[in-house]
Amino acid sequence: MPLPSAPSIELAAGGAGTAGDQSAAAALPVLAQSSSGPLELAVVVPTFNERANLAGLIGRLDRALAGVAWELVVVDDDSPDGTAELLHELARRDPRVRCLRRVGRRGLSGACIEGMLSSGAPLFAVVDADGQHDEALLAAMLQALRADPALDVAIGTRYAEGGGVGDWQQQRQRLSHWATRAAQSLTGVAVSDPMSGFFMLRRAALHGALRGLSTAGFKLLLDLLTASPRPLRVIELPYQFRPRQAGESKLDLRVSWDFLMLLVDKLLGRWLPARLISFAAVGSLGVLVHLAVLRTGMLLGGLPFVTAQALAVAVAMASNFELNNLLTYRDQRLRGWRRLSGLLKFMLACSVGAAANVGVAGWLEHGGGGWLVSGLAGVLVGTVWNYGATAHIVWSRPR
């Protein structure tokens, strides 16, 4: 028995993990198995605070995939709105539904990758929970992959004839077009919508690219296409991007940073780890912070140079720590007391880095290295030390 098209249950009510879960889930009909054949497709859905969208999503999948042996793997990053609790109730009633709950971690790409790896299906589809991806397209994607064994990926595209971005405001449209262009020209990927979050792929295509994928990013498709050791064969199927059903978008400044870092990683990643690049970029911002504080301290605060310089070092270190915690180590961000102790350890480690910086630069300059080369060499040694040391002392996970 399929779900009604717009379930009238108030799923958002009741708060996280309350008795409301049971009654909300109990109001849903038990879904019939749509096919008894071997599992063919895993629909992987990343979620963060999508409780209110789950019933609608399952209903639309049920209709779109009638007759297909599919399962739903929802990868939830410990949403405070109780998404996982409701999913567990739904899973008790429908064995096709599974919830993979990750605690203490965030990240869209990593969530999708783990969801796919948790399934035995030969085909995976990645779909957002909020209804923006037209689930009806899944049948056409499946058909295309069934019909052509040489095809690796079927992509839902917003930027081909017949596709569209719906009610997006002009600014977001422009941003998306710019990002798409940048991704196409920097990576050489020749698909119309490399930033699409809606696609279906074969297990073999995932496994080929697996070890080159970044788990921190937001743009898994672009990463898959560029990390694959052989060019993937794709088909693009147009669809209209719909408005979000309930809740809020998680696209924010950090996501834009992740995207920028993904592009830089595609250019330089062969030689340098992506985190080091992000760490160095934050460090460059830190130089600006340092100079701004130094100048303000001297001009407005009337501080002597040495005092203003010391203040600038402390402020720049603190802002570097905060930005790295927010951007470079977003997926293992420190909070509460661990953030405070992390800041102290960061300052300690970076003080040693600063000493190494000055020591190396002084030694080179003394040996006739010239101020520029000696200065830059000092910065390089200091940055690499700071990166390595803080990765181990500040953001290392207990094993």
Q: CA triplet 19, 20, 23: central angle to 5 degrees?
A: 95
Per CB under 5 A, does 196 bind Mg ion? no
Q: Does 179 bind ligand GDP (CB under 6 A)?
A: no
- C-beta of 35 vs 245, nearer to Mg ion: 245
Q: Does 47 bind Mg ion (CB under 5 A)?
A: no
Task: Please choose, out of 63-71, 128-136, 154-162, 178-186, the segment that lies near Mg ion by the rule CB under 5 A.
Answer: 128-136
End-to-end CA distance of the chain: 46
Sole window of 28-36, 47-55, 279-287, 306-314 interacting with ligand GDP (rule: CB under 6 A): 47-55
Q: Does 116 bind ligand GDP (CB under 6 A)?
A: no
Q: Does 130 bind Mg ion (CB under 5 A)?
A: yes
Interacting residue with ligand GDP among 21, 77, 152, 193 (CB under 6 A): 77
What is the three-class DSSP state of 141?
helix
Pick what 250 binds: ligand GDP, Mg ion, none; C-beta below 5 to 8 Å, kind-dependent. Answer: ligand GDP
| List of residues 6+ apart from 124 with CB closer than 8 A | 41, 42, 43, 44, 115, 116, 200, 201, 203, 206
Q: Is 129 in the site for ligand GDP (CB under 6 A)?
A: yes
- Does the protein bind ligand GDP through residue 249 (CB under 6 A)? yes
- C-alpha distances in Å from residue 84, one per residue of 35, 57, 249, 366: 26, 15, 18, 62
Q: 98: how many CB neighbours lie within 10 A of its CB?
A: 20
Q: Could you tell me the smallest distance in angstroms from the CB atom of residue 38 to Mg ion? A: 32
Which single residue brings its beta carbon nearest to ligand GDP? 249
**Interaction of residue 251 with ligand GDP, rule CB under 6 A:** yes
Residue 111 in the binding site for ligand GDP (CB under 6 A): yes
Query: Is the Cβ of residue 61 or residue 277 nearer to Mg ion in the bound state?
Result: 61
| Burial bucket for residue 285 (CB in 10 Å: 0-12, 13-18, 19+) | middle
* Binding flag, residue 132, Mg ion (CB under 5 A): yes
- Contact between 250 and ligand GDP per CB under 6 A: yes
Helix 220-227 to helix 253-268 angle (10° resolution) is: 10
Of 108 and 205, the one with the shorter C-beta distance to ligand GDP is: 108
Binding of residue 76 to Mg ion (CB under 5 A) = no
Binding-site partner at residue 28 among Mg ion, ligand GDP, none, CB < 5 to 8 Å by type = none
DSSP strands (E only) in the chain: 41-47, 70-76, 97-101, 123-126, 153-157, 199-202, 234-238
Position 106 contacts ligand GDP (CB under 6 A): yes
Smallest distance, ligand GDP to C-beta of residue 76, A: 6
Residue 85 touching Mg ion (CB under 5 A): no
β-sheet with 234-238: strand ranges across? 97-101, 70-76, 41-47, 123-126, 199-202, 153-157, 234-238
Residue 129 or 311 with smaller CB distance to Mg ion: 129
From 20, 21, 48, 234, residue interacting with ligand GDP (rule: CB under 6 A): 48
Spatial distance between the Cα atoms of 223 and 196, rounded to a whole number of angstroms: 11
Helices (H) and strands (E) in the chain, counts: 13, 7
Secondary structure (H, E, C), 9-67: CCCCCCCCCCCHHHHHHHCCCCCCCCCCCCCCEEEEEEECCCHHHHHHHHHHHHHHCCC
Task: Check binding of 130 to ligand GDP (CB under 6 A).
Answer: yes
Residue type, position 255, single letter? V
Residues that bind Mg ion (CB under 5 A): 128, 130, 132
Residues that bind ligand GDP (CB under 6 A): 46-48, 50, 75-77, 106-108, 111, 128-130, 132, 249-251
